[in-house]
Amino acid sequence: RLLLQDWLVLLLAKFMLGASLSALQLSQQPSLLPPSLRPLQRWVFGLLRSPLLSSHTPLSRLTVATDLRMALLHSFSTLRPERLIAVIYPPLHAYKDGDTLIDTEIALSRSAMRASAGRLFLLHAPSGLLMYLAPPPSPRGTTADNDDNFEWPPPRGCAIWHDAERLRAALEAAVPVTLCRYGSAAAKLFEAHLIDDPEGEGSESGRATPSSSRARFSYAQFVSFVLSEADSHATSLGRHLPDTQQPAQVGTRTHVKHPRHAASE
């Protein structure tokens, strides 16, 4: 876990040093990263949060038996790269309705789902496909009982079902499609995959800390920590370069609160 996290820090530090960028600049403008580097932070975060690298820490609160971990390692090693990425960080599609696709790259967070303005979501989870009906945009005064204008479940012939069947056909094994309506017991299965969100007391305000036994790192907190460490490392590397090779000054650290043991055992 630490080696994986440190690998990401070193990779970003070398890029920041060569491009003369700071953590503040990258946090404000993620597009400054080249396309090949942009998804890496999310993939590493997803892998650290997965049962394979679960650590019973705020970053990954699961406790996994050794036998199960070895079974997961064997399973992961047999997957094609594109399928492994989907297992680590499941793709989430947003739909305005059953026939109108909005986006195929929604982050696994409630805020990203709200920002997409979608009502239907299709999640390609490791255990199967989850079709989720989100709450209406104006929850006050609108309940599941009087939200009858939106067709649920969507009819079988619509686009979201076509996409679900296409994804199922691409897999080696048949997987179920589970219908999840907000507020239902099945919805908890879908919400458990929203790994970008913080969880625990105080986490909704973004103040979750590694010292809190109930807190869990959000993706935003993880990125802040990694960029801070990369910024510090880039500055240290810059000091050891000959004057003729010195890049422009890298910005100062913007966040030093999170300890390096966030992903440790």
The pLDDT tens digits for 142-197 are 444 445 578 899 999 999 999 999 988 887 677 889 999 998 988 998 998 898 98
Check residues 87 and 258 and name the one with the higher pLDDT.
Answer: 87
First and final C-alpha spacing in the chain: 8
Q: Which domains does the chain have, with CATH numbers?
A: 1-89+195-265 (no CATH), 90-194 (3.40.20.10)
Beta bridge partners of 97: 100
Per-residue model confidence (pLDDT) at position 120: 95
Rg (CA), the chain: 21
The whole-angstrom separation of Cα 231 and Cα 128 is 39
List % helix, strand, coil for the chain (3-state, nearest 5).
Answer: 45, 10, 45
Residue 152 contacts residue 104 (beta carbons within 8 Å)? no
- Long-range contacts formed by 135-142: CB under 8 A, 24+ apart: 135/182, 135/183
218 vs 249 pLDDT, higher one: 218
E-state strands within the chain: 92-97, 100-103, 120-125, 128-133, 177-181
178 three-state secondary structure: strand
